[in-house]
Amino acid sequence: MAQISHALLKLQRLPTTRQALKHGAHELLRLAEREAQLALFVQHAPTAIAMFDRDMRYVAYSDRYVIDYHLPDDIDLVGRSYYDVNPNFTDGCRGLNERVIKGETVSAEEEYFTLPDGTPEWLRWKMAPWYDAAGDIGGAILFSEVITEQLQARRALKESEARYKALFESIDAGFCVVEVKLDEPDGRVDYRVVEANPAFYDSTGFPREILGAWLRKAAPDLEEHWYEIYGGIARTGEPARFEEHSELLDRWFDVFAFRIDEPEDCRVAILFHDISDRKRHEDHVSILLKEVNHRSKNMLALINVIAQRTTGEGHADFISKFSDRLAALAANQDILVLSDWAPVELERLVRSQLAHFGDLLDRRIHIEGPALTVFPGAAERLGMALHELGTNASKYGALSNNGGSVHITWQIRPEDVAPEFTLQWREEGGPAVRAPKRKGFGSVISGDVLGSQLEGTVTADYRSEGLVWSLSCPWASLTEAVDAPPDAPSVSSAPHVDGNGVLVLEDDPLLALSVAEALSDAGFDVIGPAHNADGAMEMIAGARPDMAILDVNLGRETSERVAVELQRLGVPFLCMSAYSAAQIPEPLRNAPFLGKPLDVGLLLEAVRSGSKNLASSKK
């Protein structure tokens, strides 16, 4: 501006006409006005601008330039050298500036500089020549922008995207983004997978071609509930956490799904795990717990029968006998648990039941036979019989003195139809023995009950030199799970009280015997007991019962078809089981229910009630 004023004074001194002077002054004022406007524009421009002459001295600059280059607020740069103000730029910029003064335009999108105060910054800049009225290069003009924060944000975003991609690709959880279509012509929801990680394909079994395909067409058998769930999330924006099964994929999933992006985009992100193994484990545990409950109640029922039978032998040594029999049961359980309920070595079973004889084993108790393994159920039955034989031998037989001995032998004999297993317990050197006048619990366990359970025969020969006890049964009875023993003849010989009597269906011979005897002692005629469904059906066909008592679980089958036949005939029945009432099959569920171990009083009361109701209906 000072230059313009000086020019005006010179023009006033020239010997020209007043009109020419007036015209020249007017042009200079217009020029001054334009320069002032330009200076004002440069000063207040929202970007950093600096104008230099050909010697790189500041001509004009913006306020933003002062701020971006961390210069003092009150600094006056006009007339000062660019290189003095920015000593850190001198070496790198002098050559570029010379190129601009020669007419070249130079620029950089990202360049690292150290500002005059030592602050490092990233700049985007452009420098170009400016021209005077004559068209000559008057100097250079610099436009610059501090992009440090932008660059840091962009790099942070890039790093974040890289971390997201690495996480997306490497996590073992399935993850996908689906686009949901809510406006199908038929009103149904559809969706397609638009993004998926490798675990998505591994967890679902879908091929990679599923990406981008609408699932109504690509997977027509996919269950409807998936569309309903993701459609609801896309509509409401409410996230959902759930477990769901897919019949198509034959898998269980634990899913967390939530809406992303804008509502109108209808995009749902889905994070999920394949929990099929966990579900199978839970089902397995549930089955095991039910089975443990069933077995424990059956065991209690057996203990209840043992207690009642032991009491019937007399009260004098009840505690001793009862404790010994419980110990035998415990020994059986120990060996079965240690073998994980797998087949048990026969010799190990024999020794476990006679372990309480200590040093008599292999000295006075001789065990001989081939290496054999027997099924857990058969092991339980043999174990109880061996315990009773050992107890009798210690009290009355060869082990009751100091000179007797016991020889336990077994073998498998080939037969025309199937191999036959024989087991012999032979005593010698003991006191003279004779057959008991009545059958006690031990004789029942080691005799009729064992023979019935193993589909064989048991003999007891009370010789003067000692007892010879023998078991003969099909080898398959010890190596396979036998659903139920063959049906035994009725234990009751009482005259019919009403009609044909009460049918008893129970697969455990000892429990069946106990129930039948209780009914018989109470005056009821007993049909059976039957130990499997086929036997019960044959008995029903031969003599229609007045009532029936059905054990629910018969091993590999239930008494369900027997119940259906009784319902068809209009015969009332009650159920007894170690299962809970909620686990009873439907045809049995409406019948009176008695849990195991049985209360004989409640059993007889229920039977009497059923008999009265039947008699009333006949009248």
Cβ atoms 165, 198 nearer than 8 A: no
Cα distance between residue 386 and residue 321, in whole Å: 15
> At the topology level of CATH, where does 45-145 sit?
Beta-Lactamase (3.30.450)
pLDDT at 423: 93
* Domain residue spans of the chain: 1-33, 45-145, 171-274, 313-479, 502-618
CA angle 481, 561, 554 (to 5 degrees): 25
Q: Which CATH class is domain 171-274?
A: alpha beta
pLDDT at 492: 38
Average pLDDT value for the chain: 80
> At the topology level of CATH, where does 313-479 sit?
Heat Shock Protein 90 (3.30.565)
Cβ atoms 302, 510 nearer than 8 A: yes
Q: pLDDT tens digit string along 88-121? A: 776 667 888 889 999 999 999 988 888 888 888 8
Extract the residue ranges of the chain whose pLDDT is less than 70.
1-45, 90-92, 168, 287-342, 415-416, 438-443, 445, 480-500, 611-619
CA angle 467, 472, 476 (to 5 degrees): 145
| Alpha-helical regions (H) of 238-345 | 276-312, 318-338
Q: Do domains 45-145 and 171-274 have the same CATH topology?
A: yes
CA angle 105, 106, 112 (to 5 degrees): 160
Q: pLDDT tens digit string along 367-392? A: 999 999 888 778 877 888 888 888 88
Q: What CATH number matches the domain at 502-618, 3.40.190.150, 3.30.930.10, 2.120.10.30, 3.40.50.2300?
A: 3.40.50.2300
CB count, 10 Å around CB of 62?
20
Q: For the chain, what percent of residues have pLDDT higher than 70?
A: 76
pLDDT at 497: 35
pLDDT at 194: 95
